[in-house]
Amino acid sequence: MNVRVLTPRNRGFLFLDSHPAGCAQLVADMWQACPDPDPDPDPDPGPDADPARGPQGDGPVALVIGSSAGYGLAATLAGLKRAGIRGIGVCFEKAPTVRRTGTAGWYRTAATADIARAAGRDLVLLNGDAFSDAMKDQVADLIEQRFGGRLDHLVYSVAAPRRTDPDTGSTYASVLKPIGGAHRTKTLVFDDEGVPEVREVETGPAEGDDVEQTVAVMGGADWERWIDHLAGRGLLADGFSTAALSYIGSPLTAAIYRQGTIGAAKAHLEATARTLDERLAKTVGGRAVTSVNGAAVTQSSTAIPGIALYTGLRRGVLGDGLVPPVHQLADLWDQLTGAAPLALDDEGRVRLDTFELADDVQAAVAERWESATTRTIADLADLDWFRSEVRRLYGFSVPGIDYAAPVNTDVPWPGHTR
């Protein structure tokens, strides 16, 4: 047992340690914030409704890939509470050592397992490389042996810097770069004392095969490979549905995001959805969609130039009108299970980002963006909220936690007991 007092140590938005009790409380808070399922479901929910949903069944069998952080964690918790899922979560986290804590996702996963167990849900959580065929085989074996040989839903939420192609052995690296030329943008940073500063930064353009490499990591290739693998084992249930989580974002961040290398990967992801949707409709009467979510403070998003400034300003405009990820994913589960109609835009995407992309909201954020300087930023953005959100990613600044008390960092990975 390794018991010690943990204080936040960080380099910019990256923290060196994570607080187990804070991470557990964060997961508990997300669980409480997630809406309960409708107590009075429609007696005739229609042909798209999931027959396993609700108290009369064991719950639909679901697979969440990227289950330990951000929207993937929200998908796991909302699926357990809102849709009553059972099944498998896959993520890639580091265990605690003598000198370092585990990653925040390690502790969040342990807390998620506790919640699933208390809710009576059979949830297996696997730690490993989701891009590998070995992990795909492990998941397929579990579906066959533990979950009756059928998978009802798959949510794909993977953000990674690298991917190794199992067929070729080639390793690809994703980059955050604009396409066609360098891009200058405002961004928000904090100095060692936590004082905010608005800076202008320039990001050089994509070169060589940067776009292709980023698409190979963050596009739809691995999502499609998962579907191929599970379909090849005969594990997709009739009416199977799958959603990959995507992002479009504001015009203020478009050059570095949607029009940049990551945007090319998201476009590929969305094109893959259309291909899979056509195929699944023919083979199992199923659906494939992308879900476009709102901007969120995550370990991935804080690395993108301009995103920190945008999310802080957006919170300043919306305040409590901000829709948290777990609420967005509750809406997605309603649509995937047939509890609510599947609401798609002209590109076949589920849009859960409309609360922030409304014209009046974007106009207000843009006005603040233009006025944002180091001197004015405290009046324009909700900096306290943003700082706390970043710290909460690592289990710090979570209400109800005594950070002066020693905490055990040797939390084991959850076992596979029912």
pLDDT per position as a tens digit, 130-145? 999 999 999 999 999 9
From 107, 156, 172, 257, the catalytic residue: 257
pLDDT of residue 303: 78
Quick: pLDDT tens for 205-249.
999 999 999 999 999 999 999 999 999 999 999 999 999 999 999
Mean pLDDT of the chain: 92
At 205, phi and psi to the nearest 5?
-75, 160
CATH number of 195's domain: 3.40.50.720
Residue 418's pLDDT band, with cuts at 50, 70 and 90, is: low
Structural domain range at position 257: 21-40+52-169+177-408
In a domain? residue 414 = no
pLDDT beyond 70 at 41: no
- Residue 11 and residue 27: Cα distance in Å, rounded? 24
pLDDT of residue 40: 57
In a domain? residue 415 = no
Give, in order, the Cα–Cα distances in Å from 173 to each of 10, 93, 164, 189: 25, 19, 9, 25
User: Among 54-63, 201-210, 366-375, 392-401, where is mean pLDDT lowest?
Assistant: 54-63
Which two three-digit tokens encode residue 26? 């964060």
Euclidean distance between the first and the last CA atom of the chain, given in angstroms as a whole number? 25
In a domain? residue 8 = no
In a domain? residue 12 = no
In a domain? residue 351 = yes
Q: Which residue, 329, 249, 281, is CA-closest to 83?
A: 329
pLDDT beyond 80 at 45: no
156 is catalytic: no
Amino acid at residue number 37:
P
In a domain? residue 11 = no
Residue 185's pLDDT band, with cuts at 50, 70 and 90, is: very high
In a domain? residue 3 = no
Domain tally, the chain: 1
In a domain? residue 123 = yes
pTM for the model: 0.93
pLDDT of residue 22: 98
Residue 43's pLDDT band, with cuts at 50, 70 and 90, is: very low
241-273 core/surface letters (b: 16 or more CB in 10 A; e: else): bbbbbbbbbbebbbbbbbbbbbbbbbbbbbebb
